[in-house]
Each structure stands twice: as C-alpha cells, then as structure tokens.
C-alpha cells in the first residue's frame, strides 16, 4: 500500500476552480417556483424547476447543495426519482429524460443556526437571505452558477404575528391568511436571473415609502424596511435612491424596470449591501443615519452604496456574469458608475482623490503580495475571497480608462451597444471589451492585458525642455512587475493624460505631431518605451503628468521639489495639485523612515502646508479639498512603498508622528485660527458646511499632536458640546491616542449616551481598538468580553478586531502579542463564519514585507492557523497562498 499525506486522504481537500475549465450548463431552467415554509426550527423549501436538457445531454444533471441541507425528496415529472448520488458539494441526478421535464426538490434547512450568514439566516429575529456568490446552495439543490438564468416565483408562508412582512423579488401577485395564525405571500419576478440574485425577507419591520416617476412616466413605489425603532433614520437612504434613479436615466438612459423597489436593512450582514432584484438587502450601517448618530463619512457612504446597488439593476442583473471569474464585469463597472455618481453629487476632485488613495493603500499592496491576481482571476478555491480591491477598485480604474481613451460620448456609445447586445444574458469581460471597441471602431488590442495581468505597472516619465528648438520631450517607460504565477509580462496600454503648465501658471496650448491637441492630451502609451515631443513650446514648462490619475500605475518622474511646489499652487488639475503635495510629503517621510533616526523637517514643506491652509481664507476656497491636501500619507501607503523585508511599523509611526507634531507646532496659530473660523454655530448638512466641518476637524487632528493640556481640554470641550456625530467622533478620535483624563472621560460618557445604539457602539469599539497607546491590547481584550461586542456580528468584528489590526503600535507590538491575539480570534471565528474569519486573517498576508522579527512572528501565527482541524476553505485559501508565495 502506498502512503498518502494527510491532505490527500481527507475527502475535503479544497479544490481549486479554473477559468479555463468553464463549460456551459447541461440543462437550462426555464422557470422556477419556490415555496418556503418558515418555522422556528426546520424550514422546508420546495422547488419546482422546468428543466430543459441542452443538446448532447447525457441524462445527468449536477445540482450544487451544501452539506447542511437535508434532502427530503426528488421527483421527476411527478414521480419519485431515486437515481442520484449525493457528494459533499451537491447532487448528481441520473437517468433524466432527454426532453424538457419538471423537477421537484424538497429540502429542510435550519436558518436559526446559520452563523455563516450565507443562504437563509436570522438577524435580530427576522429571516433574510444572502445568496451571492454561492449561498443559494445552502437553501436548496440548484445549478448555483450565474449562467443559469430563470424566472422565479416565490411563495412564503410564516407566522403572521412574528413575521407580518413577507418579501421576495418582483411583484406581489397573491397573499392571504392561513390557519394557525399563519399567512402567505406569492411574488413573481418577470425578469430572468441567476439564483445569486434571489432574496427573501420575513420579519416584523417598519417601512417608509416614496415614489419615483421614471423618464417614460411610469410610477415606481420605493420602500425602505428596518426594525421599527429605526424607522426615523431612513430618509437619507431614500433621498439617495431617488437621486440614483434620476442620475442613471440622465447619464446612461437607464430606466427602472419594475413597479416596486425595496431596500431592507439588517444588522447581521457579512458585506455592505446586496443588489438582489428589486429587493436590495443592506447592512444597517449603510442605511440608517441621523446627524446625531452618523458622520458625514457615513452619509457619503450611504449615498454611494445605495447608488451602487441600484446601478447593478442594469450592470449585474439585466446583464450578468457568465461565471465568477467575470466578477469585475459587474463590480468594476458598477464601482466606476457609483464613483461617477458621487463625483456628480459632491466635489469631483475630492472624490477622485479619496478613490485613488484607497486604490494605492489597499489595491497596490494586494497587487504586490501573495494574493496578487488579475481583475479577471484565473482560479480560486473560495469565490468569497475574490471580492477584492483588485476586482472592484482596479476593475473600476480599467473601466475608467475606456472613458479616458474613448471620451464620454464614446464610452456612452459602448455602454449602449453592450446593453443592446447582451440584455438578459450572462456574459464575459471580453464581451464588454468588444462592445467598447466595436461601438467606437477602435483598436484597443494592447488594452487587453489589463484583464489578464496582475501587478501594478511602474511608469517613469522624464521630461526635458529644449529652449532652442522650443520643444518639450517626454520619455516614458513601463515595466509590469512579476507576480505569483506570472513571471513574464507584456506592456499594456496606459492612457497618460498630460498638460504643460507655463511660467505664468496657466496651461499651455499643446501641439503634438503637428496637431493642436488642447491643454490636456491623452497619450496612448502601450510600449516598453516611447517619447513624445511637443512643439512650439515658447517657455520652459512644468509638466503635469497622469492628470486625474488617468491610469492605475506607480509613477516616477524627474520633477524637482520646486516643480512640485509650483504644481501645488498652479496645476489646473485638482488631482495633480493634491498629488504634488503628497509627493513632497511621501519623499520626506520615506527619507525619515529609512534614515538614521535623526529627524529633521523640510522647511519647504512647512511653507507649502502654510500656503495650503491660508487658501482656506480665499473667498471661493474649496475647503474639502484643502482638508484633503493637509492629510499626511497614511502608514499603509508608506509601508507599501518600502522594500520587502524592511517594514518596521514602529518607525513609520514615529516618523509620521514627528512630521505631524512639527507641522502642528510651527503652524499652530494658523491651525487654531482656521479651526475657529470654520466652527459653525449650528449643524447643517449643506456641502459647504460639511467641507468646513472636515477642515475644522483636520485642524483639531493636527493640534492633538501637541503635548499641551489646553488642547486636550479644548478637544474634550468640543466633544461634550458637539451637536452632531461627525464632530463628536472627530474629537474623540483626537483624544484616542492621548494619555489623559479627558480621553477616559469622553469614552465613558460616549458609552453612557449611546450604548443602546449598536451602530454607534461600533464606532466606539473601533476608535478604542485603533488607539496607539502602549499596551492597548489589554483594553481590546476587555472590550471583547464586554456587552458592546458580539463575535457573531460581522460589524462588531470589523470594528474591534479590524480596528486593532490598524494600530501600528499594538497589532505590530514587537513581542508578537498582537499577532497571537489575532490568530486566536481567527481560529475561533473560523467555526462561526469563514468569510469574516478570512477577511481578518488577511492582515497577515503581507508578512514578508516586515522586518525579520515581525515577519517570522506573523508566519508562525499563519502556520498555527493552518494547523487547525477543519479549517474553512475561506481561511485555508488565504493562509496557504500567503505561506506558499
């Protein structure tokens, strides 16, 4: 007998799924009728499927089904069918008819025991579902794949007193009373959809209602459901929904396609929100808001996410994905759409800066580590692990590049053709690419590697001015770095938007290849090297390169410090004005971090920062932009720019603290004056007020770096008197790293005031968890045992445990205690909720980035987790890829 490794003997060796193995389904499902009998224990689900064998059918049909689902019976055309095999992933039905047949399946499930929050589960006593990506298989046996599209009719039966509200997708076509205090509803969704868009809600919920008249004059009823005590917190979500519907009509000509649109807010939800057809289900943190309980950032997130899920109705639902490797087809595109919506509703430049910061800190880091993957991945073990910043945020950048290359009108033509060709279909990113190319008669072949290559291209740009020839030459080079499994790369088309700023601070009119090209031109840079020569350049300009961050690349230029200071003051492109300042700050901080510990401030930077703050006094100052420009690059962004094997989070923290403290000391008078000038008498939610609030709170954040009792007292005073959550949280945050009585008092009072509101308690947990006060881990452990925490609730885990992982000092404590704590939590969570556990374990993926003692401590924890018996596939995939790469 041969010996096998333990891995080979377990029947559940996690299996990797490959894009190249894609095969169309063996049967199509013309129609599905579901009937749910909801009970406190043992919910039964009957499904009747009109199945149609594809040509060449072998009489076998594989249906996905989770091991937790109890199979009560299968019938084919009304007769019991016993020729099937059940495996750990589902059911293979055999000897099926060769013509269309009716398949009926009955299952029993236990939603009340479902802690994974996938499939049908209970949240605050109500039933709800989450089926994307592969949750439907926890409800019944089905072809749980997005290219199996069908119409659904859903009958829901439940106790009437406990669950007066019974919802599913589509239109309500029947309802009534039943014996024993029970009642039922029947819903019919006329649009074909994959099962991941199925949803059901049953509960005792309150509701607000509004109306929307579509561009063709149809009335749509809009409803938002929440637990009754939260019903007064839904107005902002409703306003956001109406704005989204209007925007999609105006921008893309897309009109809502049913008479009813529902949103339901639930407290227990793994993700942010879900676009189920006409029945979106939201994490309550992305619905509920009042000025007293939610911050300006929460308001903005709600507006963006409501829009995102609504926009999926076309980009995701009407046209969906052929398989999960195509996820970016719907997510990248829909993120691009929600970014554009938010840019139109708020300050465009500030929105772009926020989006790029997030891309750089999170996505660039992922693209440089063991989990690097293309926006269209090649394989996965657990699809949940591929809802990543790469698929989403880099995917959105790829969509944005079409717009940059083809122009707004060209992009719209491509979108129109995409819907014309593919409405009602499950398609691929190739189909999207083809629609964009064909609609514009454009050859975009060198653009394609954006879909298949991982890694962030490195672009260098060197400019030189020839005073005699009056030319300005820009030389570009690009290299796409190696990533796990991809050793060779080819150049990819990068749209590089360029302008030349003259000595007068104004954009020059550009001439390239003898043609006049305006003041910003988009270079189609798709080779390893290329040079571009602008002619008729009368005076030495400063080039503004990669305007609006026109491609998701790492850019290095030969701009001098003087050039950058000049661009900060003069660039017409808001993004590059901000970027110039950030480049100065990044250079300074990286020098300090890599230096010998003798910290020295750069006077030019202090002067530049003083000028930025002074800008707030100008009559039409963009205060939101100024607040953003005052922000110093985050620890995460800096860490990403350091070499593998060198990162010492304590040093990054020290260097950042030095810079903040020095600026606060030298600019104290300016900061205090700006803070006072922007302190409103009374809260208001107008854009100008929000901008002033963010500027004021940025000033307070700086001042908090001063060791001055008066500042702590002032901050506490502002905390105590704040009439809105934005200001309360800003003040509390400014106290949270300070060893002072005010901090203790403020956190205690905040708890007293808000302990009944779980969403506000998440903020309270998060701020304490992130604190860089020495030995704060003890406080975090105590909070975990306290009444505000619940390990079964994802929001609480993200706030407390996720927050802790963001502390440079305590998560990365030199003694390894932070790493050990995280591993303990992951091991515990893994049994309850694999998705949440795998998100938490991701804090370890970049272990090789750290200096030797920390990286070996992190590695040891990864190994400890890998050794856990019965580890979920979710965590297994992240841990094994991290260790192997």
In angstroms, rounded to a whole number, what is the distance separating the alpha carbons of residues 414 and 438? Answer: 8
Q: Judged by CB, which is closer to ligand BES: 384, or 573?
A: 384
Smallest distance from Zn ion to CB 664, Å: 40
Q: Which stretch binds ligand BES (CB under 6 A): 303-311, 568-576, 661-669, 706-714?
A: 303-311
Q: State which residue, 334 or 346, has the beta carbon closest to Zn ion.
A: 334
Q: With respect to Zn ion, which residue has the nearer C-beta, 146 or 803?
A: 146
Segment near ligand BES (CB under 6 A); pick from 30-38, 307-315, 365-373, 407-415: 307-315
- Pairing outcome for strands 260-266 and 219-226: parallel
Closest approach, Cβ 546 to ligand BES, in A, equals 25
How far apart are CB 195 and ligand BES at their closest, in Å?
Answer: 13
**Closest to 703 in 3D by CA, of 674, 680, 682, 677:** 674
Interface mask toward Zn ion for 721-750; x: CB under 5 A: ------------------------------
We find the least distance from the C-beta atom of residue 748 to Zn ion, in angstroms, to be 39
Site for Zn ion in 273-332 (CB under 5 A): 331
Q: From the list 222, 305, 584, 836, which residue makes contact with ligand BES (rule: CB under 6 A)?
A: 305
Binds ligand BES by CB under 6 A, chosen from 273, 391, 555, 735: 273
Q: Which does 305 bind (CB under 5 to 8 A by kind): Zn ion, ligand BES, none?
A: ligand BES
Contact segment (CB under 6 A) with ligand BES among 56-64, 301-309, 492-500, 533-541 equals 301-309
**What is the spatial distance between Cα 432 and Cα 393, in angstroms, rounded to a whole number?**
17
* Residue 275 lies near ligand BES (rule: CB under 6 A): yes
DSSP state of 850: B
CB of 314 to Zn ion, least distance (A): 12
Furthest-apart CA pair in the chain: how many Å? 94
d(CA 201, CA 45): 14
Number of residues lying near ligand BES (CB under 6 A):
17
| Alpha carbon 15 to chain centroid, angstroms | 26
- What residues between 326 and 345 interact with ligand BES by CB under 6 A? 331, 335, 338
Is the backbone of residue 168 left (phi > 0), alpha (psi -120 to 50) or beta?
Answer: beta
At CA 9, angle to CA 8 and CA 15, rounded to 5?
50
Site membership for ligand BES, residue 875 (CB under 6 A): no
Whole-angstrom Cα distance, residue 558 to residue 547?
16
Query: What distance in Å separates the CA atoms of residue 707 and residue 687, rounded to the nearest whole number?
Result: 33
Considering the complex, what minimum distance in angstroms separates the CB of residue 386 from ligand BES? Answer: 9
Q: How far is the CB of 280 from Zn ion (least distance, A)?
A: 11
- What single-letter DSSP state applies at residue 228? G
Nearer to ligand BES, 272 or 481 (CB): 272
Q: From the list Zn ion, ligand BES, none, which binds 355 (C-beta under 5 to 8 Å, kind-based)?
A: none
- Per CB under 6 A, the segment of 197-205, 268-276, 479-487, 874-882 that binds ligand BES is 268-276
Rounded distance between C-alpha atoms, residue 479 and residue 458, angstroms: 5
Interaction of residue 133 with ligand BES, rule CB under 6 A: yes
The entry of ligand BES, Zn ion, none near residue 281 (CB within 5 to 8 angstroms by kind) is: none
**CB contact at 8 A, 493 and 446:** yes
Closer to Zn ion at the Cβ: 114 or 334? Answer: 334
- Contact region with ligand BES (CB under 6 A), list: 45-53, 219-227, 300-308, 877-885: 300-308
Cβ proximity to Zn ion, 326 vs 808, nearer residue: 326
| Contact indicator for 538, 470 with CB cutoff of 8 Å | yes
Residue that has been written with the tokens 């439940």 in this structure? 158
Which segments of 288-386 are extended strands (E)? Answer: 320-321, 379-380
Residue 708: DSSP 8-state: -
> Closest Cα partner for 285 from 305, 309, 312?
305
**Residue length of the chain:** 885
Instruction: Please tell me whether residue 274 binds ligand BES under the rule CB under 6 A.
Output: yes
- Cis, bond preceding 880 (omega within 30 deg of 0): no
Of 119-127, 334-342, 364-372, 673-681, the window that binds Zn ion (rule: CB under 5 A) is 334-342
What is the distance of C-alpha 835 from the center of its chain?
15
Which residues, 6+ apart, have CB-to-CB distance to 814 below 8 Å?
Answer: 650, 853, 854
Contact criterion met (CB below 8 Å) for 457 and 526 = no
Distance CA 125, CA 679 (A): 43
Supply 451's token pair.
Answer: 């879909």
Cβ count near 597 (within 10 Å): 9
Minimum CB separation of residue 534 from Zn ion in Å reads 41
Q: Select the binding partner of residue 133 from Zn ion, ligand BES, none (C-beta < 5 to 8 A, by kind).
A: ligand BES
First to last CA, the chain: 33
Please state the closest distance from residue 61 (CB atom) to Zn ion, in A.
30
Residue 309 as a binder of ligand BES (CB under 6 A): the answer is: yes
686 is catalytic: no
- By beta carbon distance, the residue nearest ligand BES is 272
What is the rounded CA–CA span in Å between residue 693 and residue 730? 10
List binders of ligand BES among 363-402 (CB under 6 A). 387, 392
Q: Report the residue from 14, 25, 206, 272 that binds ligand BES according to the rule CB under 6 A.
A: 272
| 582: enclosing H helix or E strand | helix 574-594
Nearer CB in complex with ligand BES: 237/585: 237
For the CB of residue 329, give the shortest distance to Zn ion in the complex, in Å: 11
Task: Tell me the closest approach of the beta carbon of residue 169 to Zn ion, in angstroms.
Answer: 17
Q: Which is nearer to ligand BES, 326 or 698 (CB)?
A: 326
The DSSP secondary-structure symbol of 89 reads S
Please enumerate in sequence order all residues whose Cβ is within 8 A of that of 91, keeping only pairs 6 or more positions apart, or say none: 62, 63, 65, 71, 74, 84, 85, 141
272 or 615, CB closer to ligand BES? 272
Strands 511-512 and 554-557: unpaired
- Site for ligand BES contains 806 (CB under 6 A): no
Query: Could you tell me which stretch among 283-291, 333-341, 429-437, 719-727 binds Zn ion (CB under 5 A)?
Result: 333-341
Decide whether 613 or 829 has the Cβ nearer to ligand BES: 829
Catalytic residue among 132, 134, 309, 873: 309
Record the tokens describing residue 49, joined without a space.
């499927």
Distance CA(398)–CA(549), nearest Å, equals 12
Q: ∠ at Cα 559 (557, 564), nearest 5°?
A: 120
Q: Give, for 413, the enclosing helix (H) or strand (E).
A: helix 395-422
Q: How far apart are CA 765 and CA 770, in angstroms?
A: 9
Instruction: Report what 285 binds from ligand BES, Zn ion, none; CB cut-off 5-8 Å by kind.
Output: none
Piece in contact with ligand BES (CB under 6 A), picked from 305-313, 604-612, 618-626, 652-660: 305-313
Q: Which residues are catalytic?
A: 309
* Residues contributing to the site for Zn ion (CB under 5 A): 331, 334
| Interacting residues with ligand BES (CB under 6 A) | 132-133, 271-275, 304-305, 308-309, 312, 331, 335, 338, 387, 392
């Amino acid at each position: 007998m041969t010996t096998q490794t333990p891995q080979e003997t377990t029947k559940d060796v996690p299996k990797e799924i490959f894009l190249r193995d894609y095969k169309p389904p063996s049967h199509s499902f013309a129609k599905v009728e579901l009937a749910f009998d909801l009970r406190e224990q043992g919910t039964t689900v009957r499904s009747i499927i009109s199945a149609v064998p594809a040509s060449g059918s072998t009489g076998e049909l594989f249906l996905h089904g989770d091991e937790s689902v109890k199979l009560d019976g299968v019938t084919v055309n009304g007769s019991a069918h016993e020729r099937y095999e059940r495996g750990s992933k589902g059911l293979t039905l055999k000897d099926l008819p060769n013509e269309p047949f009716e398949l009926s399946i009955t299952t029993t499930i236990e939603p009340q025991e479902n802690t994974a929050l996938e499939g049908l589960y209970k949240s605050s006593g109500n039933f709800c579902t989450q089926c994307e990506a592969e949750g439907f298989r926890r409800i019944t046996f089905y072809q749980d794949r997005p290219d199996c599209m069908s119409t659904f009719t859903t009958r829901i039966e439940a106790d009437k007193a406990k669950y007066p509200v019974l919802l599913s997708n589509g239109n309500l076509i029947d309802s009534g009373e039943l014996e024993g205090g029970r009642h039922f509803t029947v819903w019919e969704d006329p649009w074909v959809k994959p099962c991941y868009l199925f949803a059901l809600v049953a509960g005792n919920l309150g509701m607000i209602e509004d109306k929307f008249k579509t561009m063709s004059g149809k009335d749509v009823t809009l409803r938002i459901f929440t637990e009754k005590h939260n019903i007064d917190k839904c107005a902002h979500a409703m306003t956001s929904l109406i704005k989204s519907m209007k925007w999609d009509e105006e921008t893309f000509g897309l009109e809502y396609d049913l008479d009813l649109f529902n949103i339901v807010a639930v407290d227990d939800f793994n993700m942010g929100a879900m676009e189920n057809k006409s029945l979106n289900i939201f994490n309550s943190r992305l619905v509920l808001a009042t000025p007293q309980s939610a911050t300006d950032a929460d308001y903005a997130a709600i507006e963006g996410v409501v829009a995102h899920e609504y926009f999926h109705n076309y980009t995701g639902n009407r046209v969906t994905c052929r398989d999960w490797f195509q996820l970016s087809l719907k997510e990248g595109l829909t993120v691009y759409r929600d970014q554009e919506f938010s840019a139109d509703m708020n300050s465009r430049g500030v929105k772009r800066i926020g989006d790029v910061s997030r891309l750089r800190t999170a996505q660039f880091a992922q693209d440089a580590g063991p989990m690097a993957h293309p926006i269209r991945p090649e394989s996965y073990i657990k699809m949940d692990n591929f809802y990543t910043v790469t698929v989403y945020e880099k995917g959105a950048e790829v969509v944005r590049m079409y717009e940059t290359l083809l122009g707004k009108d060209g992009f719209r033509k491509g979108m129109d053709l995409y819907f014309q060709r593919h409405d009602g279909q499950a398609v691929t990113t190739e189909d999207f690419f083809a629609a964009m190319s064909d609609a514009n008669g454009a050859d975009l072949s060198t653009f394609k590697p954006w879909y298949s290559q991982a890694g962030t291209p490195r672009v260098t740009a060197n400019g030189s001015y020839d005073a005699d020839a009056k030319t300005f030459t820009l030389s570009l080079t690009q290299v796409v770095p190696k990533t796990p499994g991809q050793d060779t790369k080819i150049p990819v088309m990068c749209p590089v938007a360029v302008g030349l700023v003259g000595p007068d601070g104004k954009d020059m009119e550009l001439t390239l290849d003898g043609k006049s090209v305006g003041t910003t031109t988009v270079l189609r840079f798709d080779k390893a090297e290329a040079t571009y020569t602008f002619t008729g350049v009368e005076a030495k300009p400063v080039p503004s390169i990669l305007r609006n961050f026109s491609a998701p690349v790492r850019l290095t230029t030969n701009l001098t410090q003087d050039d950058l200071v000049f661009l900060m003051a003069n660039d017409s492109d808001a993004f590059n004005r901000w970027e110039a300042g950030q480049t100065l700050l990044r250079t300074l901080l990286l020098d300090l971090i890599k230096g010998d510990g003798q910290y020295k401030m750069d006077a030019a930077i202090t002067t530049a920062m003083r000028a930025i703050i002074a800008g707030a006094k100008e009559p039409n100052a963009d205060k939101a932009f100024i607040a953003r420009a005052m922000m110093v690059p985050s620890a995460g962004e800096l860490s990403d720019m350091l070499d593998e094997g060198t990162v010492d989070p304590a040093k990054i923290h020290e260097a950042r603290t030095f810079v903040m403290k020095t600026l606060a000391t030298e600019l104290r008078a300016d900061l205090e004056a700006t803070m006072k000038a922007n302190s409103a008498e009374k809260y208001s939610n107008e854009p100008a007020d929000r901008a002033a609030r963010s500027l004021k709170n940025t000033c307070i954040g700086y001042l908090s770096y001063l060791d001055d009792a008066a500042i702590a007292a002032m901050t506490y005073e502002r905390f105590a008197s704040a009439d809105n959550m934005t200001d309360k949280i800003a003040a509390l945050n400014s106290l949270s790293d300070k060893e002072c009585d005010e901090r203790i008092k403020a956190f205690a009072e905040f708890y007293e005031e808000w302990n009944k509101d779980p969403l506000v308690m998440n903020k309270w947990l998060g701020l304490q968890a992130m604190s860089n006060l020495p030995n704060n881990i003890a406080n975090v452990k105590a909070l975990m045992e306290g009444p505000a925490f619940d390990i079964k609730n994802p929001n609480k885990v993200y706030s407390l445990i996720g927050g802790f992982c963001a502390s440079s000092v305590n998560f990365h404590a030199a003694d390894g205690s932070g790493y050990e704590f995280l591993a303990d939590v992951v091991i515990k969570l893994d049994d309850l909720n694999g998705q949440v556990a795998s998100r938490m374990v991701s804090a370890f993926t970049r272990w090789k980035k750290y200096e030797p003692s920390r990286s070996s401590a992190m590695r040891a924890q990864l190994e400890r987790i890998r050794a856990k018996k019965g580890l979920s596939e979710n965590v297994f995939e992240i841990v094994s890829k991290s260790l192997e790469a």
